[in-house]
Amino acid sequence: MLSRMDSKWSRILSGGIVLLALAVVVGPLLWVVRVSLRPVDEFILAPTSLGGTWTFENIIEAVTVGEMGFAILNSLIVISVGAPLAVLLGSMSGFALARFKFLGRGIAAGLISTAIFLPVAAIVIPLFNLALSLRMVNSLIWLAVIYGIIFSSWVALFLRSYFLQLPTEVFEAAQVDGAGSIRTFVSVALPMAKPALATAFVLSCFIQWSELLIALLLLPNGDTPTVALGIAQFSTQYRSGGPQTAAAMIVGVLPILLIFLVGQRWLRVGSLAGSVKD
């Protein structure tokens, strides 16, 4: 396409820009990996040196002493409740908004879209009070349920746009065969929406793995930290951000990278753009 008319110089220029972008993106990551594998005393003496000893000490320490292993377990508990909940709620709404005409559909769609735009920071005070009155402060499962609900609204709009793309004939055929709406949803709509469901699930895992503000407020005693809390604690303890922080971060990020890797072949992140209509 575009390359055909490119002169040699403009090709060199665009190649240079892309190489620079690659260096800017990959460079800091490689640097942090290297820092995490340096002994602490060597890092303090020469923070910008690349040479010296290689050690897994910080990584092991992050998992054991630094409780990152425990934090990973906690975050896995959170996403194994929260992500399916978000996908379940979102897929049901998305299906109804795409396939049914019902009383109050416009209001439902409006409220769900509004929920996407609401700043989490704006509702944390009442959410904390609610957890307090239900004695759910410091409960991982409660945190997961909250995540599953408040991060479900984008899933609904995303899946709605996916269900709208599916051919109507399939649903009509199911109806002719006598399938009720629940049957149609479970046996027709969901199987056809696998790529979208996988995308919604992986991104839900990512969002809930990363969330910090609600976790800070709903898990205040620090006994059951999520990964985001664990990394935050590390960066508070070692303000300078040395090898220990780097190691904790790498350990904490590996599981979610793994989830992306496994889910990658079903991911359709590009289709997200289609979910907001204009």
Partner 1 sequence: MTSTSAIGRGRGGASQPSRPKRRLEGAGFVLPQLALLLVFTFWPLTQVIGLAFTRYDVLSSPEFVGFANFEFLFAWQDFQRIILNNVLLLLGVAVWVAVPFILSILIFPMKHATLIRTLLFIPAMLPPITVGVVFRIVLANDGPINQILKTLTFGVLSPNWLTDSNLVLFSVIMVISWATMGTGILLFSAGLAAISPSYVEAALLDGANKWQIIWHIYRPGLSSVTRFFTLMLTITTLTGFFPWIYALTRGGPGVSSVTLDYAIYQTLVGGTQLGRGAAIAVIALILMAFVILIQVVMRRIRQAEDWS
Residues 155-214 that bind partner 1 (CB under 8 A): 156, 175, 180-183, 185, 206, 209-213
CB of 271 to partner 1, least distance (A): 7
Q: Does 9 participate in binding partner 1 (rule CB under 8 A)?
A: no
* Interatomic CA distance for residues 8 and 93, integer angstroms: 53
Q: How does DSSP assign the chain, residue by residue?
A: -GGGG--HHHHHHHHHHHHHHHHHHHHHHHHHHHHHTS-HHHHHH-TT---S---SHHHHHHHTTT-HHHHHHHHHHHHHHHHHHHHHHHHHHHHHHHH---TTHHHHHHHHHHHHHS-HHHHHHHHHHHHHHTT-TT-HHHHHHHHHHHT-HHHHHHHHHHHHHS-HHHHHHHHHTT--HHHIIIIIIHHHTHHHHHHHHHHHHHHHHH--HHHHHHSTT-SS--HHHHHHHHHHHTTT--HHHHHHHHHHHHHHHHHHHHHGGG--GGGGGGGS--
Sign of the four-CA dihedral 196, 202, 206, 207 = positive
CB of 137 to partner 1, least distance (A): 12
> Contact with partner 1 (CB under 8 A): which of 5, 9, 133, 168?
5
**What would the two tokens of residue 224 be?**
């059951």
Site map (CB under 8 A) of partner 1, residues 13-52, x = contact: -xx-xx--xx-xxx-xx-xx--x-----------xx----
CB of 136 to partner 1, least distance (A): 12
Compare residues 150 and 219 and give the one whose CB is closer to partner 1.
150
The answer to whether the beta carbons of residues 79 and 208 sit under 8 Å apart is yes
Residues from 49 through 78 that contact partner 1 (CB under 8 A): none
Stretch in the footprint of partner 1 (CB under 8 A) among 60-68, 165-173, 192-200, 251-259 = 251-259
* Interatomic CA distance for residues 62 and 72, integer angstroms: 11
> Contact with partner 1 (CB under 8 A): which of 9, 41, 51, 102?
102
> Contact with partner 1 (CB under 8 A): which of 73, 76, 192, 253?
253
CB of 210 to partner 1, least distance (A): 3
Stretch in the footprint of partner 1 (CB under 8 A) among 58-66, 103-111, 165-173, 193-201 = 103-111
> Contact with partner 1 (CB under 8 A): which of 41, 169, 240, 265?
240
Stretch in the footprint of partner 1 (CB under 8 A) among 54-62, 133-141, 142-150, 191-199 = 142-150
> Contact with partner 1 (CB under 8 A): which of 1, 41, 135, 221?
1
Stretch in the footprint of partner 1 (CB under 8 A) among 57-65, 88-96, 165-173, 193-201 = 88-96
> Contact with partner 1 (CB under 8 A): which of 134, 170, 186, 269?
269
Compare residues 167 and 273 and give the one whose CB is closer to partner 1.
273
> Contact with partner 1 (CB under 8 A): which of 12, 45, 118, 170?
118
Extended beta strands in the chain, E state: none
